[in-house]
Structure 1
Amino acid sequence: MEDYVVVLCSVSLLLLLCGGGKAFYSIWWKPKMLERRLKQQGIRGTPYTPLIGDMKEFVRQIKEAWSKPMSLNHQIVSRVDPFTLNTVQRYGKISMCWVGTTPRLIIMDTEIVKEVLSNKLGHFHKPPLNPQILILTKGLSTLQGEKWVKHRRIINPAFHLEKLKGMIPVFAVSCSKMIEQWKENPFLQGRCEIDIWPELQKLTADVISRAAFGSTYAEGRKVFELQRELLTLTVEAMQTLYIPGFRFIPTKKNQRRKKLHNEITSMLRNIVQNKINAMRAGESSVDDLLGLLLQSNGQTDLSENASSTRSNEMMTIEDVIEECKMFYLAGQETTSSLLTWTMIVLAMHPDWQEKAREEVLRVCGEKEPNFEAIGRLKIVNMILNEVLRLYPPAIASYQHAYKETKVGDIVVPAGVDLNLPTLLIHHDPELWGDDAVEFKPERFSEGVSKASKDQQQAFFPFGWGPRICIGQSMAMIEAKVALAMILQQFSFELSPSYTHAPYTLTILQPQHGAQVILHQL
């Protein structure tokens, strides 16, 4: 019995030592080792605080910045991303901070940014995702490696410019519907106040529903309404301390998230399967994103019983469902953000609003814009690019070094995160000149490549390299159609009730809404 007790104590002590050793390595030894390697290269940054890193200070600065509005100008960086700005100002444009136990490199050198995003060696991927995000979608933007390559290859044809050209009438239908609702406002009588943020969210949700699901867009729209609720609950969960396994505890909100996820997946499964059956029977045209995706995927073989060889070359039904979720998350939110900030900025700069309207009326008259007309809207294109520069929907891109690699003169050890701060790069006077925080669309008059100072190509609103946003052309075409149709019917100014308070949750958005006064023309 005594021998048994001795063995038990010895094993317990060994396990305790092993656990303590692993904890010591993860919490102290590895972070300090990575910190030392970065410091040896002259990279400075915030001191390491075990376990929590800079989270406490990050939250404090964000709360302070978001607690009050700002002046009516475009110097938004200090309000939207104060922690990154303060770190760069204190330690340099290549500096270091901490996300828990992981060091994060902030890189504002545009050549290194492009090198990282080009990822020629394949050593950089997205940072490990919080499992709470994956309940929203496991689509293209969350994938890595061969699976990402396969999905990108299959999805690409659906976003080809010729295919998008045929969707312009679909965009116009949704815009016409919104404009008619605005005109029917009983308070209009020549002018009325509207919060355009929720209005433009509804517009882009309707657009992506019609574009993705064609004749079944009403069913798709219902899915997206549920997904919006799921997004809200997910963002809320991510703003609290992540505790592994907590999402499985049957709290009221966890149960609601699970129910929404199951309902969304079930509805999309029915839509996808019905589309497959209709296409096989020749009863459905291939003119929406889902149809194009299934066609590119080889829809006649898309079934649960597809051969293993063929299945390796195509997406499963589950994959298609996840990509349908991604259509909404990537397409709807990005375009609504761009359109909202464009209308706010044009309300702040009525001279450019009038220039854009004159161009639209000269090119389109009173007709809905078509593909040819959109290509001739040079001023509108310049305005949208300048808004994307000042108010990019995604304020940063994040990568993780899974293998040690060299970018520029920096050796990035495996295990280090990278923050490529799009917003800070877009507002950098060294790249854009002393007028970097001013709204000057003319800087894009000769195209994107010549817009920044010394032609450094410092414009990354949709990313860069092989993982550049697949829907960027669709977002720009949709924004041009919507903006042109609004300018044909209304002039607009900021309401006295508007509070300039840009902030970011999943995307850059107005914290207190976007109230404008519409004047019907």
Structure 2
Amino acid sequence: MEVQVLVKIVISIAIIGGVGLFLRLYRALVSKPEKLRLALRKQGINGPPPTILLGNILEIKRLRSATSKHPTCGAPTEHNCSNALFQFFEQWQKKYGDVFMFSLGNTLILHVTNHEMVREITTFTSLDLGKPAYQAKERGALLGNGVLTSNGTHWSRQRKILAPELYMDKVKGMINLVQESTMTLVNNWNNIIEAKGGIADIKIDQHIRSFSGDVISKACFGSNFSRGEDIFSKLRALQEASSKKVLSTGIPGMRYLPTKSNREMWALEKEIKTLILKVVNERKEAGHEKDLLQTVLESAKNSELSQDALDSFIVDNCKNIYLAGYETTAVSATWCLMLLAANPEWQERVRAEVLDICKGQIPDGDMIRKMKLLTMVVNESLRLYPPVSVISREAFKDMKFGNINIPEGVNVWTFVLTLHTDPEIWGPDSYQFKPDRFANGITSACKLPHLYMPFGVGPRVCLGQNLALVEMKILIALILSNFSFTLSPTYIHSPALQLVIEPGHGVNLYVKKL
């Protein structure tokens, strides 16, 4: 009899537990997302109807497949990255307006291109609007965790990420590294051209990545720069693996399943952490160096975090340096050289400026500040091919932007690509390469200059912006003063999204020594 009673009690507990678990799952996966949607619908905001668990992921895949475009041989006459990569967003915007909602799994996203709302969102400084929880979980493996406060310090709920100013202070002292790494690339291209008989078809992507990786490895890891190159190679592999999971973001439990891509990411994360901490231990034994890693270590030393949190602090900062100082620079410089190759008149104009200012010397910080035409070309290249396509935030409490009340838990996306090429803002030639629009600076380039945000805008601007611009300008100036180049007949124009927007088939140039 006692056994039967015990069995009944166990069964009752199991039933109650099962019901409780079901109710919790129902609330997280169905009730809460629907409550958020209802709050937005009452304000006139609509969007494509979602399915349970997957949201609009299947519809996005279907629309991407239906609207996928064949790659273009040679440079396009119009540079419409948004249409090439995110045509489904354009379709939804035409149907639902400049503010609409959609879902990735059970993550509800408010897509915003309303100009005044974008201004408010991008200049909002409170921690109540921060890095989305899904991004910290799904992509924190690559990007690190943290949101930026109004005083320039990155904070997560648990730990701190270095402020951009601490990196920016190092930029002036890194110019000599940029010059050295650029000359290495120039000498390498000279050797290739000589071996090919005076003109060479060069796929420049890996050359530009090697240049940028060399700069940031030496800047970050000092005398351990060769180890830094290994770390960045692994981070590049992790970036490629992460990009394959973009659409699975928000699917409940997906990141815990031992899928092939997850196992690959877990292995890379473990290896990267081990490599970084090994360099850190070697540094502690070897002593002080004046590099970014030392800045990270000194900041960590003054904190009150546990050892695990300190390790995470160091690893996260190295990951942020990678994306901000390495990948965005390499990809942006590659796109800029593609545009100069496709527009020989601008290549000649900028080359003449560079030769006049440098007079045979290697460009330095003072010289590149005088290069107005080069700055115009870089700005226009970043407008058409910004390194970041979307700025994403999550509301950690109820808030209001414009006349829209945004409930806690809703994610807000500002779509940079759309804003950078909107004809209403930039004029009827918005999809064309016309650097002259920046002749009088960014503030005069369009009707609403706050919508130009290749590195983000306001208090959350990318920490690597200054370094990226210095690297790009010195690199392009030296290439222009040593070589002429055109697009190779083998070049295929196919922008691809790998967390940053990069050439899907690489960029091949015919390069000739001047």
Q: Same fold (TM over 0.5)?
A: yes
Tell me which of 58, 61, 67 is aligned to 1:59: 61
The DSSP-based 3-state class of the residue aligned with 1:135 is helix
Q: What is aligned with 2:292? A: 289
What residue is the counterpart of 1:93 in the other structure? 98
How many Å separate the matches in 2 of 1:382 and 1:3? 82
CA contact (8 A) 2:324 2:465 kept: no
Aligned counterparts of 2:470 and 2:335: Cα–Cα separation in 1: 16
Give, in whole Å, the separation in 1 of the partners of 2:315 and 2:110.
35
Q: CA deviation at 1:45?
A: 1.3
How far residue 93 of structure 1 moved from its aligned partner, in angstroms, is 0.8
* Residues 393 and 461 in structure 1, CA contact (< 8 A), matched pair in contact too: yes
- 1:192-211 deviation line (CA, Å, top 9, x unaligned): 11111222122211121122
1:477-509: CA deviation from partner (whole Å, max 9, x where unpaired): 010010001101111111111111112121101
Aligned partners of 2:389 and 2:417 also within 8 Å: yes
Among 383, 387, 397, which residue is 1:389 paired with? Answer: 383
2:167 and 2:463 in contact (8 A); partners too: no
Match 2:354 to one of 353, 360, 363: 360
CA distance 1:488–1:437, change in 2 (3 Å): same
Preserved CA contact (<8 Å) 2:395 2:410: yes
For residue 119 of structure 2, the aligned residue among 114, 129, 150 is 114
Q: For 1:398 and 1:253, how far apart are their aligned partners in 2?
A: 24
Residue 135, structure 1, aligned to residue 141, structure 2: yes
Q: Which runs of 5+ in 1 are unaligned?
A: none
Aligned-residue CA RMSD (Å): 2.7
CA shift, 1:89, in A, is: 1.6
Q: Residue in 1 aligned with 2:369?
A: 375
382-391 or 319-328: bigger deviation:
319-328
Q: Is the 8 A contact 2:60 2:88 kept in 1?
A: yes
1:170 aligns with 2:174: no
Answer yes or no: is the 8 Å Cα contact 1:347–1:353 preserved in 2: yes
Q: CA deviation at 1:12?
A: 3.9
Query: Counterpart in 1 of 2:188?
Result: 181
Structure 2 SS opposite 1:460: coil
Deviation at 1:412, TM superposition (A): 0.3
1:208 aligns to 2:216 (yes or no)? yes
CA deviation vs aligned residue, 1:195-230 (integer Å, no higher than 9, x gap) = 112221222111211221223212211222233233
Partner residue of 2:151?
A: none
Relative to 1, partners in 2 of residues 1:214 and 1:16: Cα closer, same or farther, differing over 3 Å?
A: closer
User: Identity of paired residues, percent?
Assistant: 31
**Alignment check: 8 A CA contact 2:238 2:265 kept:** yes
User: SS in structure 1 opposite 2:133?
Assistant: coil
Does the CA contact (< 8 Å) of 1:125 and 1:402 recur in 2?
A: yes
Deviates more, 1:342-351 or 1:43-52: 43-52
Aligned length: 499
Q: 1:173-207 deviations in whole A, cap 9, x for unaligned?
A: 11111111111115532211111122212221112
State how far apart, in whole Å, the 2-side matches of 1:409 and 1:386 are: 33
TM-score relative to the length of structure 2: 0.89
Whether the 8 Å contact between 2:130 and 2:147 is mirrored in structure 1 is no
User: Would you say the 8 A contact 2:147–2:156 is kept in 1?
Assistant: no
Of the structure 1 ranges 42-51 and 338-347, higher mean CA displacement relative to structure 2 is found in 42-51
Q: What residue identity is the alignment partner of 1:230?
A: L
1:275-354 to structure 2, matched below 5 A, reads: 275-280=283-288, 284=289, 286=290, 288-295=291-298, 297=299, 302=301, 316-354=310-348
Which whole-Å CA distance do the structure 1 matches of 2:373 and 2:85 have between them? 28
Equivalent positions of 1:242-261 (< 5 A) are: 244=253, 247=256, 249=258, 257-261=265-269
Which residue pairs with 2:393 in the alignment?
399
* Code of the aligned partner of 2:477: A
Structure 2: which 5+ runs fail to align?
Answer: 149-153
Q: Structure 1 length as normaliser, TM-score?
A: 0.88
Paired letter, 1:68: H
1:159 aligns to 2:164 (yes or no): no
Deviates more, 1:216-225 or 1:117-126: 117-126
Identify if the C-alpha distance between structure 1 residues 230 and 29 changes in structure 2 by more than 3 Å, giving closer, same or farther.
closer
